Amino acid sequence: MKEVADLNSQDVILGILMMGSSTGYEIKNVFEDVYSHFYNASFGTIYPTLARMEKQGLITKEAIIQEGKPNKNVFTITEAGKQAFLAYMDSDIQENEWKSDFMVRLFLGEFVEPERIEVWMEMSIARMETKLAALLADQCKYQGQITPTQTICLKLGIEKFEGQLRVLRAELAAFRRLSAAKEL
């Protein structure tokens, strides 16, 4: 292994293109669908990154003419792109970065009324339930079609949300009991 490489959208796009040529729209869909559970990249990041990668010779672009529709660009990884991707894959894994507005607010919750904290917890539970449902749907949808390592990623995501939901539901109930006892 080599030094830690900073994960960036270029590495992720190169990984997508290692699986086969794709249009910018297809790459965007992978970011929104598969990678949305563990990597954030804005729509505005993908196309400038593709343009920069093309200038660097990491990918090529082929314009496909379509009748009655705008032309589509198909991107293919080059040998230099494959080498850049393999250099990323050979580097040490960097520390996971996790940012949570909810956790910051919850940590500082002593400065707001208990009702607001309950609302935050309820909203967070609802969001996690939605994300968990999406992962469970993906598990059914892709069963038998994804690699063992992709299955591990899916299971880790499911476990993450199930664990967080278990804690939040229990702690919300305890918080409500504590708040009710203080009112007596």
Residue pair 128/161 in contact (Cβ under 8 Å)? The answer is yes
pLDDT at 13: 94
pLDDT at 5: 45
**Best mean pLDDT range from 5-14, 58-67, 94-103:** 58-67
Q: Give the residue, 159 or 3, on which the prediction is more confident.
A: 159
* Structure tokens, 94: 């960097």
Residue 88 has pLDDT above 80, yes or no: yes
Residue pair 8/35 in contact (Cβ under 8 Å)? The answer is no
pLDDT bin (cut points 50, 70, 90) of residue 7 is low
Task: State the CB neighbour count (10 A cutoff) for residue 60.
Answer: 15
pTM passes above 0.85 = no
Residue 1 has pLDDT above 60, yes or no: no
| b/e 100-110 (16+ beta carbons within 10 angstroms → b) | eeeeeeeeeee
Residue 43 has pLDDT above 80, yes or no: no
> What interhelical angle do 114-142 and 148-183 show, nearest 10?
160
Closest to 94 (Cα-Cα) out of 39, 152, 22, 15? 39
Residue 168 has pLDDT above 90, yes or no: yes
Strands in 24-163 per DSSP E: 59-64, 72-77
Terminal alpha carbon distance of the chain? 61
CA atoms within 13 A on the CB side of 126: 6
pLDDT at 41: 73
Stretch 2-23: mean pLDDT, rounded? 82
Rounded to whole angstroms, the Cα distance separating 154 from 159 reads 9
Stretch 75-102: mean pLDDT, rounded? 93
Stretch 129-144: mean pLDDT, rounded? 94
Stretch 127-154: mean pLDDT, rounded? 94
Stretch 95-109: mean pLDDT, rounded? 90
Residue pair 74/92 in contact (Cβ under 8 Å)? The answer is no
